Amino acid sequence: MPDSQNLGAAGSETPVRIDVFGATHCGKVRPVNEDQFFIASLHKSMRVHQTSLDDLGAFARLSGSTAYLLVVADGLGGHRDGQLASGTAVTTIAAHLGETIGCCYSFDVDEEHAFLSQLEDAVARAHRQVLQRHAGDGGRGPATTLTMVALMWPRAYVVHVGDSRAYYLRGGRLRQLTRDQTAYEQLLDAGVVQEGPPGSPGIEDRMKNVLTSAIGFEITPSIGLVDLEPGDVLLLCTDGLVKHVPDADIAGILGECGSAEDGSRRLVDVTLERGARDNVTAIVGRFAAS
C-alpha cells in the first residue's frame, strides 16, 4: 500500500505531498529473495480543541510532526542465510528507532548531532544482533548491506553500509548519495585502478562485488544528509537493480513516473526484462508541491 502524507516544508509555507512505495523481486536466477525493505511513518501531533489563549503559535510545531523511515538491505548470498541477516537488521533498526526517534519531535539544528547518534546506534545494534544470532558457530556467519534514510522534511539523513544505494533526482539529473563500500572503490581511492567504461571486464569488475563493510561482518557506517526540494524524487535500491539499469535509465524512469508505486514497479520490471541475475529492490519517494 502506498504511504503518502501532506506536509509543510520546514521553514517554508509550501505544502508538500510525500508519496512512498517499495517493490522487491527475487529475480530470474536466485531461488530465494534475500533483500528486505521497510517503509514507516512516525506521527506525533497535538490538536487544540479549545483554549482561552490568543496566540497558538507556540503549538504550531506540534500540529503535524511526521518522520519517515526508509530502509533497504541485501543479505549476502555467499554467506549462510543472508535472508536471516537482512531480516534481522531491518527488524532491529525499525524497533530501535521506533523506541527512540521521539527525539525528532522536538528536533532542531542544535539536536542534530544527537539525532545522528541515534541512527548510528541503531546500525550498531543491528550489527550486534546479526552477530549474536550465530555466535559460537565458527567461521563467518550471515551478513547484509544496509541503506537507510530518516526523513524529516525537507532534510533526509542517510546511513549506509555496503553497496546498496541511495539516489535523488532533481531537475532531470540523478545524483548518488552513497558510495559503494567495496574493494574496487578502495583501489580507486589508492590510485591502483582507474574508472573504465561501463561493463568493461577484468579484475576490477570482480572487485566491485567484494564488500569492505557489511552488517554481521565489519561495519564502517557512512552518514550524510541532503535537503530535498518539492519536485525531487528519492530512490533506495539494492545492487540487483544497478547491475542491469544504468543511471540514465533510472533517471528517465523516475522522471516519467506518475507515482512512487509506478516508479518502483517499473524499475523492478525493467530489471527483470534485462535478466535480473540478482534479487532486486527499489523504494521510491516522490515529493510534489501540492
Model confidence at 36: pLDDT above 80: yes
Q: Name the amino acid, one letter, at 237.
A: C
> Quick one: fold of 3-47+59-289?
Phosphatase 2c; domain 1 (3.60.40)
| DSSP structure string for 238-285 | -HHHHTTS-HHHHHHHHHH-SSHHHHHHHHHHHHHHTT--S-EEEEEE
For the ranges 50-64, 87-101, 211-225, which has the lowest average pLDDT? 50-64
What pLDDT does 186 receive?
A: 81
Domain extents for the chain? 3-47+59-289
Q: Tell me the residue length of the chain.
A: 290
Average pLDDT over residues 254-268: 97
- Mind listing the pLDDT tens digit for each residue in 52-79? 567 666 555 555 557 899 999 999 966 6
Question: Does 201 sit behind a cis peptide bond, omega within 30 degrees of 0 on the bond before it?
Answer: no
Rounded to whole angstroms, the Cα distance separating 45 from 15 reads 17
